[in-house]
Structure 1
Amino acid sequence: MIKESRGVSAWCIDHPVATILLTFALVLLGAIAFPRLPLAPLPEAEFPTIQVSAQLPGASPQTMASSVATPLEVQFSAIPGMTQMTSSSALGTTTLTLQFTLSKSIDTAAQEVQAAINTASGKLPKDMPTLPTWRKVNPADSPVLILSVSSSQMPGTELSDYAETLLARQLSQIDGVGQINITGQQRPAIRVQVSADKLAAIGLTLADVRQAIQQTSLNLAKGALYGKSSISTLSTNDQLFQPEEYDQLIVSYKDGAPVQLKDVARVIRGSEDAYVQAWSGDEPGVNLVISRQPGANIVETVDRIQAALPGLEAMLPASVQVKVLIDRTQTIRASLHEVEMTLLIAILLVVAVMALFLRQLSATLIVSSVLGVSLVASFALMYVMGFSLNNLTLVAIVIAVGFVVDDAIVVVENIHRHLEAGDGMREAAIKGAGEIGFTVVSISFSLIAAFIPLLFMGGVVGRLFKEFALTATSTILISVVVSLTLAPTLAALFMRAPVHHEHSKPGFGERLLAVYERGLRRALAHQKTMFGLFCVTLCLAIAGYVFIPKGFFPIQDTGFVLGTTEAAADVSFADMVAKHKALAEIVAADPAVEAFSHSVGVSGSNQTIANGRFWIALKPQDQRDVSASAFIDRIRPQLMKIPGIVLYLRAGQDINLSSGPSRAQYQYVLKSNDGDTLNTWTQRLTEKLRANPSFRDLSNDLQLGGSITHINIDRSAAARFGLTTSDVDEALYDAFGQRQINEYQTEINQYNVILELDAAQRGKAESLNYFYLRSPLTGEMVPLSALARFDVPTSGPLSISHDGMFPAANLSFNLAPGVALGDAVLQLNQAKNEIGMPASVNGYFQGAAQAFQSSLASQPWLILAALVAVYIILGVLYESFVHPLTIISTLPSAGLGALIMLWLLGQDFSIMALIGLVLLIGIVKKNGILMIDFALEAQRGGLSPEDAIYKACITRFRPIIMTTLAALLGALPLMLGHGTGAELRQPLGIAVVGGLLVSQALTLFTTPVIYLWLERLFHRPTPAPAPAITL
């Protein structure tokens, strides 16, 4: 009769009702938490980022960079915690992106940015329509939803007004909605188009027209009449709303007769910017490109928008159609569904293996119960920790399927062994759980130790895998508790001793054990050979890691493709529209495309007319024959046939670490304190890399072909007329800057009044010869040609970029199929050396490539940290410096197997493969623990080391095989998955499956040899009995 133990396992066996009810409570908490977990593609891991925008209509890129960007950059550079500051200045607009450390509060950063803007305001141009504005953004984030707004009857200005005032404003109030870019927006405006000839003939200037409009159309406070019995507010017709009202406006008097605005100008209702256009497919309209707020849940945000749309559509005129063009959550939901199916398949495979080996329904159901309880209960902990259901947390649960059943298998198998030996049900349950308790704790805690380094990984990668590591750790801890409480309780109630028939054939497990027993005898008889095999495995694993191509994250197929077009810097708007339509025809004809939108003109992240945007939604994966990357490769040659324009495409990614919109997946930044030097070497490096077949879609953002007409002012001549350079600048701005000189307000919006020359004159350089200013000394009209010389047009940049206040250029590139990012990094650095780039031009990778370099440097330390953590935990558990080495000796073969499998399947060693390798460190040492734990007990019982390790291998063979197969089958669906988002998960599954296959084939024979070798090396006497751990 066994000695009664009052440990946790024994207590649970004696109190089955309490145990079952407490377990039910765990399941109930998990079931309640599961539907409340938010859905997301990945854990939140964004750098706090603020984007600052400033406008000065008509100002050149050089003016915007020097007079707007630089004063702001000077103030922003003093903000603590800022890691990167970039700016891009184009015609009339500057955008600055400020990125902060992960520990920086975005709200604190916003307050400091506003204070810096206020400080810089005194040094900004006085005629800026408004002060710079800021918003919290994730500039690298893809839009979560694109809405198309169109009408066959309504003019573009009216349609744009509805899109802005009704849709965009209402949608922006929805929780989670961030920036809404309205592409193709033709915002209503009053345009005053003045004839320079008529003005000069009358003796007026554009300044006279501007001042007359500003003084005549106002919206000021008037007060009220406070009578004895009532109050009456005062109102006047001080605002002008219609073009015909402006026609009657008196600009001046000529010979006593009034000069009305209609005498010198044409006033029309047009758009604020005539050079924008957008399409959904081939249908003109307005597109709302909606991004989420930083940290907002994508799926919940889109669900709120979808719920609000019917009510908003009901408020629109019947002729206005609103439809969802692109919905990013469709692929997110599909990806999560694929992971959930992978989880189900993994569970079924693991349960099938249990049934095959245990050959008893009750034992199989007990293991399945532990698995189910542990997985469901983990959802409750995820909810408490604020996690979401995403690709990484679900992958952690899929992988945990193999870990969770390990504990239950070891407990149930040991109880099964005692039942076979003739013990009663309760006696076998208490004995089995008590004997194996220390082993279960050792396996689980050493497995958790492998996750510890993941929790301390820095940067965005560390943020991403924190939820992964904690989810897996939580599930393992729950499984330890459930395996040592519920499993023995159910075993005591339902497991029966197996019935052996006299003539029954040996089962699969028995036949496999017989084969292993013969192999083990040979291995122990040839220990030097096996030790040599171990050394060869160790060397091959190290060499394999050194030489295998390295990568960052696999390129995903999210079903979403983003495009940026680039035409000649001096392209006209009409030509740009025609070229865009030609590209759209090619995109629309591809059978993989479900819907797409495109736009040209200055809006959102697009700063010049020479650039445009494409957003392409591909059909679901089961309805197309190519991946997103293959689609880009297929359509690229057709797109190249359109002359004068290039469409750069990149597959949208859930993991995007760029600091802003990019033409391709990877970025390289060059900067110098001299702009000309920067331009020269940027072009040389670009041409060098274009000759390298490893790089695709390579481009830079210099765009130096913009036309510049330089007006050389003679200051002496101007002074003779009492004129200054400021007067000339003001006059030119009135004529050619689309100057916003006034505004008028309605109940729901305000609109601008824009001054310009008429269409026949504002686009010709010859108009400058007929351009007049009034002399404040004599009052006579002075032609501009008398004050200035008009130089021959030269070329210049369409936009100017800064990085950390220095001139910068951005190179973007994709990689050819089969090229690893690590190889591309080496080739790019080699190209720099070959062209002899001077030290005055600095270069560095940005976004994903920069994060890759950082992670590559830390990879060996991460692996070493996981090994050290496992060693420390095992050393503490076994009170030994030597036995952990025996257990860890199982790892080289696992590493070699992972690398071989990755190489055979054409995968590079990515971050996901690295995580798989770290998982293997936790998984495969289980074999060693099961052997060594039993061998040590056998030695304490008087057996020699040789007999003890032999008996341990034979006795623990079945649980070793079962737990390894469970882990392998848990990872197999990840390896073989092919649905949405499978590219991200496959490397992890490949590494785990490959590592388990090779390690299982080798460690069953090498680990006993290593154990004996270390015993002889250290001449260890038989250890004293260790204190029992009662569970």
Structure 2
Amino acid sequence: MNLSAPFIRRPIATALLMVAVVALGVASYPLLPIAALPSIDTPIVQVTAQLPGASPQIVADSVTTQLERQFGQVPGLSQMTSSSGVGYAQITLQFDRSRSLDGVSTDVQAAINNTQGQLPASLLDPPVSRRTNPADAPILLIAVRSDVLPITTVSDYADSILAQRIAQIAGVGQVLVGGLQLPALRVQLNPALMASEQLSFPEVRRALARLSVEEPTGQLYGRQQTFALTTNDQLLTAEGFDAAIVAYRDGAPIRIRDIGRTVKAPQDETLAGWIDGKPTVILAVQRQAGANVVETVASIRARLPQLRASLPPGIDVAVVSDRTTTIVESLDDVRRTLLLTIALVVGVIAVFLRTVWATVIPALSVPIALLGTVAALYPLGYSLDNLSLMGLSVAIGFVVDDAIVMVETVVRHIDEGAGPLEAAVAGAAEIGFTVLSISISLIAVFIPLFLMGGVVGSMFREFAATVAVAILVSTAVSLTLIPMLCAKLLPPRRQDAPGRISRAVERMFDRLFALYDRGLAVVLRHQAVTLCVMIATILTTLGLFVVIPKGFFPEEDTGLILGIAEGAQDSSPAAMKAAQQALLAIAARDPAVANAVGFVGAGGPTVTENDGRVFITLKPFGQRDVSVFQVMRRLDTALASVPGITLYMQAAQDITIGGRLSKTQFQYTLTDLDPAELTVWGSRLADRLRALPVLSGVASDRQSAGRTLRLSIDRATASRLGVDPAEIDQTLYDAFGQRHVARLYTALNQYYVILEVEPSYQFGPEALRRIYVRSQSGTMVPIGEIATAVPDVTPLAINHQNQFPSMTLSFNLAPGVTIGTAVTAVEDAAAALRMPPSVAHGFEGNAKAFRAALGGMAPLILLALFAIYLILGMLYESTIHPVTILSTLPSAGLGALLALMAFGRPLDLIGLIGIILLIGIVKKNGIMLVDVALEAERNRGLSATEAAREAGRLRFRPILMTTLCALLGGLPLLLATGAGAEIRQPLGLTIVGGLIVSQLLTLYTTPVVYIYMARLGHRLRRGSTGERPRVV
């Protein structure tokens, strides 16, 4: 059956069909979203709550645990992590990928509503849920500052206008505001003056709550008019509060100014942010799960001029880091790679075929196949990203192969004397089955990728679909358009002598062919030796696969360094601010750094007051000669000179698996019901990991050595004096807890009135002796008479995983070390400790995904081989010859692994995809050899040896041509530089290395394997004449 004949005889219909494919591709291209990588987001929701002044233990017990109990009942919850700090709780909920983000958001909000009655009344606001992953790097950093306005005013506009409006833009999950110092009124009381007036802190608090309110007051109605009732019930100024009367003593009013003062100051004085040494509010924009980064950032940038115009003069708004810059650069590089690949492949065709139309016809298959693929990507919901564009680049070698084989066959028939139409029909009939079988078996290679589960499977499914669709389109083009164009455009057999260049090229091919022919004759005379070489190749390939270092996903140079600064656990806010500014100043002086911004303080992006965030943006690739990893190592050395603080850094990556924000890149988590036991074993493991030379930046999220003063109440004395423990707690909270006692409502925002003791009474344990509580008899009793302050240690943060106390150790890789080596070292260190069964431990995030991917590498390759064997067995109705075709693969694997090792690269997921691609590319050569050999045996009665030699001789040129096309398709990837080169290079290495070694070996080993398999088949069939391949 000649599938191509109807299309050859109906050229107009065939041409119009291809025009329709091209039109669909052109129309679909601008509609495809642009991204760094395929979307692999899992539904993640983050919940935060604030309880100002509460210790981490109180926050964990009264807020976090209550919420966790409700969240644990939400269907599809796969992991729940939480962190409770001073006055702040943060819970991250990660769900199964089968659940929609909208659905889980609704369920989470319902759980929050169910918890409201169990939460403390002093909770600042109801818990807030956001659809964002806290572990993701921000897609945009915006610095807001002013040289003329106070930072409180800048903060007010940044939080009330910029952050709110940006959060409304589609694709934005959350706008974290770092260094936020919102304006507030702070009522600072003098305990000595209060004691002289017989006033307690709770009395003043209750009075302040009554003095400034905003309540509904109703309306009055006249016969013709309606009057809304309003009052001056709010006090909005410091002067108003200073004059406010809080009590009477002997008929005389006691005002705030008599016992203290009211000042305008930041709501939280522990927060601060900087850029270039100047106070700054930093907006860190995080995307919503599933949102397209490029589109979201473009929308924000388009909105920024309008937002700037709405701010007062003197406020400067500047984008200091944009993640899409390197994404767009990387995609532009891949597009250029695509064009270069097309040019190289067309050049190969021109060199081999050496006529205009014989070059143009197969070259036309490339844009048609690529545009047809683009047309299919849109309805499939895929994007233009590094993987899909790499798939298109690699597919060029595939899509042109079928067209080359078709044109080469037709040209051969023309050279033998047939006319163009007759040659097209005959050539299509001869080669059609081969083209179809090659394409079907090539698509079978990707079946395992389609069946892969989890995050890795989701990511590579798009790559596999891109290449598979390109193969399908190119097969259709090769069986329809190409033979039709050959019939219409190829000239009859040329009678004139070829030109000088053509003769020179032909002489070169003749020498290569003669060299191959002589080598093949030698090989066929020493078949046993050749078979031994092939067996040695298989064993060597297996050995290299075992010993080669394994990786997960290439670490990218995105031009952004994420840092978490950890101060001493007893650092004061002032000391932390000074140390953070010193870090930023040193980082900004590095010649490769464009800017460095950072902020400190708990409540928002960080949970503890001794932690800070740092974002270091590097200069564009053309303006620096070092990678982001070299900059990190350089900064590690420079920043070590800053006392009292450590900056843990990691390069921002496009792939972040899991929802846990850690100080360095990879995570190992321990959980235990007993927090004390957890601390002991976690600390021992941390010490062991720090001693491992393969790791760097080992950090822990457990900070259990914060300083605390534990008040031991003498209950007998307190009872005798008539003082309740509740009164003591309330007094301490009023004096030292930054207690929010009233809200001030304005047109722009709402502000807080904060009660506290005067700053001079906030330093040192001795301040407690000067705080008084009221007894039941009305006398004022110093706290020092009924309680003793005992120094102690306390955790600065309490972390949970799935409601169990947890401790996460994070680490980076030492230079030149792969994640596979590091994972083995960490597992060995953990095993050597012999931790008790009560301590559960294991990898999380990217390291956990690597462990899962590592276990699937070998099965994935075996499954691909099995799928090809099944397809080939059905196509050839044989169990023997598929083995012959598959025998071409070990040499390709050997070349790929040798290339990776020669360039010091691990076998990671991109390299694995390269090996899967090699299986498809190399087996095409085997199919072409086997097809010719089988035809020679069946139709002309040649022996297996004669048929094998004739197949090698006849298919030498097309195999050489198609291999060169595929090789040149991978060469630009191998030579890639700039943004995204880390992703493209492993793919190029495996393809180029595998094809070079395969080309040198399989042209000799495949004929020998064919002969042995033919003999085996004859013995099994007891003299049968052979198998006739047929399409099933």
TM-score, normalised relative to structure 1: 0.97
SS in 2 for 1:710: strand
1:286 paired with 2:284, answer no
* Residue aligning to 1:971: 970
In structure 1, the residue matched to 2:988 is 989
Q: Which amino acid aligns with 1:989?
A: G
Task: Spell out, residue by residue over 1:182-220, the C-alpha distance to the aligned partner (whole angstroms, 9 max, x if none).
Answer: 111111111111111111111111111111111121111
What amino acid is aligned across from residue 33 of structure 2 in structure 1? P
Distance 1:436 1:572 in 2: 79
> How do residues 629-778 of structure 1 correspond to structure 2 at under 5 angstroms?
629-776=629-776, 778=777
The aligned residue for residue 434 of structure 2 is 439
Residue in structure 1 matched with residue 245 of structure 2 by the alignment: 250
2:414 aligned with 1:416, yes or no?
no
- Higher mean alpha-carbon deviation, 676-685 vs 475-484, is at 676-685
Alpha-carbon distance in 2 for matches of 1:235, 1:72: 39
Partner of 2:918: 920
- Deviation of 1:400 after TM superposition, in Å, equals 0.4
CA drift of 1:574 comes to 1.7
CA distance in 2, matches of 1:869, 1:730: 72
Q: Partners of 2:221 and 2:275 in 1: how far apart?
A: 56
Which residue does the alignment assign to 1:64? 59
Q: 1:870 to 1:785 in 2, by over 3 A?
A: same
| Deviation at residue 1028 of structure 1 after TM alignment | 7.1
Contact kept in structure 1, 2:667 and 2:809, CA below 8 Å: yes
Q: Counterpart in 2 of 1:1006? A: 1005
Task: Please state if 1:101 is matched with 2:96.
Answer: yes
Pairing partner for 2:193 from 198, 206, 209: 198
Which residue is 2:590 aligned to?
A: 590
- Structure 2 residue identity aligned to 1:221: P
Match of 1:86 among 60, 74, 81: 81
Corresponding residue number in structure 2 for 1:841? 839
1:929 aligns with 2:924: no
Contact kept, 8 Å, 1:46 with 1:138, in 2: the verdict is no
* Aligned match of 1:215: 210
Q: Which residue of 2 aligns with 1:867?
A: 865
Paired letter, 2:894: L
How far does residue 416 in structure 1 lie from its aligned partner after superposition? Answer: 1.1
Task: Work out whether residues 406 and 427 of structure 2, in 8 Å CA contact, stay in contact via their aligned partners in 1.
Answer: yes
In 2, the alpha carbon distance for the partners of 1:1009 and 1:647 equals 61
Rounded to whole Å, the distance in 1 between the matches of 2:217 and 2:117 is 31
1:266 maps onto 2:264 in alignment = no
1:407–1:479 CA contact under 8 A, matched in 2: yes
Secondary structure of 2:4's aligned partner: helix
Asked whether the equivalents of residues 42 and 289 of structure 2 are also in contact (C-alpha less than 8 Å), the reply is: no
Q: Is it true that 1:151 corresponds to 2:146 in the alignment?
A: yes
Give the whole-Å Cα distance in 2 for the aligned partners of 1:847 and 1:351.
44
User: How many Å apart are 1:603 and its aligned residue?
Assistant: 4.3
1:174 shift after superposition: 1.2
Q: Secondary structure at the match of 1:99?
A: strand
CA deviation map 1:942-988 (0-9, x unaligned)? 22222222211111111111111111110111111112111012111
Note the C-alpha offset of 1:722: 4.2
* 2:394 equivalent to 1:399: yes
| Partner AA of 1:678 in structure 2 | L
Question: What secondary structure is seen at the aligned counterpart in 2 of 1:837?
Answer: coil
2:882 is equivalent to residue 884 of structure 1? yes
Instruction: State whether structure 2 residue 500 is matched by structure 1 residue 501.
Output: no
Amino acid in the other structure paired with 2:987:
L
Question: Whole-Å Cα distance in 1 between the matches of residues 891 and 101 of structure 2?
Answer: 46
* Alpha-carbon contact 1:437-1:1029 (below 8 Å) kept: no
- 1:783 is displaced (CA, Å) by 2.1
- Tell which deviates more after alignment, 127-136 or 828-837: 828-837
Q: What residue identity is the alignment partner of 1:784? A: I
Distance 1:529 1:348 in 2: 41
Amino acid aligned to 1:889 = S
Q: Does 1:168 align with 2:163?
A: yes
Structure 1 residues 339 and 621: alpha-carbon distance in aligned structure 2, compared to 1, 3 A threshold = same
Structure 1: distance between partners of 2:291 and 2:865:
37
Q: Deviations over 1:642-699 (max 9, x none)?
A: 1111111111111121422222111111122211222122222222222221111111
Gaps of 5+ in 1: none
Deviation of 1:888 after TM superposition, in Å, equals: 0.7
Q: Which moved more, 1:163-172 or 1:834-843?
A: 834-843
Cross-structure match for 1:76: 71
The amino acid that maps onto 2:382 is F
2:87/2:603 contact within 8 Å kept: no
**What are the equivalent positions in structure 2 for 1:842-857 lying under 5 Å apart?**
842-857=840-855
* C-alpha distance after superposition, 1:795-850 (max 9, x if no partner): 22211111121211111111112111111111112222334433332221111110
Q: SS at 1:935's partner residue? A: helix
Distance 2:989 2:488 in 1: 40
1:135-534 counterparts in 2 under 5 A?
Answer: 135-496=130-491, 497-499=493-495, 501=497, 504=503, 506-534=506-534
Deviation at 1:455, TM superposition (A): 0.9
Q: Which amino acid aligns with 1:374?
A: A
Is 1:10–2:5 an aligned residue pair?
yes
**Structure 2 residue identity aligned to 1:465:** F
Shift of 1:1029: 6.9
SS at structure 2 position matched to 1:899:
helix
2:239 partner SS: helix
Matches of 1:121 and 1:313, distance apart in 2: 38
Match of 1:1016 in 2: 1015
| Aligned match of 2:601 | 601
Matched position secondary structure for 1:278: strand
Which residue is 1:38 aligned to? 33
Taking only the aligned residue pairs, the percentage that are identical comes to 47
Is the Cα contact below 8 Å between 1:357 and 1:508 reproduced in 2? no
**Residues 874, 604 of structure 1: alpha-carbon distance in 2 compared, 3 angstrom cutoff:** same
SS at match of 2:280: strand
Deviation at 1:325, TM superposition (A): 0.6
Whichever residue aligns with residue 51 of structure 1, its letter is Q
User: Is the Cα contact below 8 Å between 1:940 and 1:1022 reproduced in 2?
Assistant: no
Contact 1:568 1:705 in 2 (8 A): no
Q: Show CA shifts across 1:531-565 (max 9, x none).
A: 11111111111111111111111111111111111
**Contact kept? 1:939, 1:1022, Cα under 8 Å:** no
Cα distance, 1:919 vs. partner? 1.0
Indicate the residue corresponding to 2:613 in structure 1: 613
| Structure-2 separation of matches of 1:899 and 1:163 | 53
Give SS of 2:703's match: coil
Distance 2:135 2:973 in 1: 28
Instruction: Judge conservation of contact 1:351–1:364 (CA < 8 Å) in 2.
Output: yes
Show the counterpart of 1:801.
799
- Partner Cα distance (2:963, 2:185) in 1: 75
* One-letter code aligned to 1:707: R
Give unmatched runs, 5+ long, in structure 2. Answer: none
Structure 2 counterpart of 1:122: 117
Q: Is contact 2:671–2:807 with CA below 8 Å preserved after alignment? A: yes
For residues 999 and 246 of structure 1, do their structure 2 counterparts lie closer, same or farther at Cα, with a shift above 3 Å needed? Answer: same
| Contact 1:141 1:656 (8 Å CA) reproduced | yes
- TM-score, normalised with respect to structure 2: 0.97
* Alpha-carbon separation, structure 2, partners of 1:96 and 1:763: 33
Superposed CA deviations along residues 230-266 of structure 1, whole A, max 9, x for unmatched, are 1111111111111111112111110011111211121
- 8 Å contact kept, 1:281–1:598: no
Write out per-residue CA displacement over residues 972-1018 of structure 1, whole angstroms, 9 at most, x where no aligned residue.
Answer: 11111112111012111111111111111111111111111111123
Residue deviations 1:320-352 (CA, integer Å, cap 9, x gap) = 111111111111100101111111111111111
Q: Amino acid of the residue matched to residue 805 of structure 2?
A: P
* Contact in 2 for aligned 1:714/1:787 (Cα 8 Å): yes
Query: Retained in 1: the 8 A contact 2:910–2:987?
Result: yes
Once residues 72 and 332 of structure 1 are traced to their aligned partners in structure 2, the CA distance between those partners, rounded to angstroms, is: 38
- Give the secondary structure class of the aligned counterpart of 1:657: coil
Give me the whole-angstrom Cα distance separating, in 2, the residues matched to 1:498 and 1:556.
Answer: 54
Describe the SS at the equivalent of 1:813.
strand
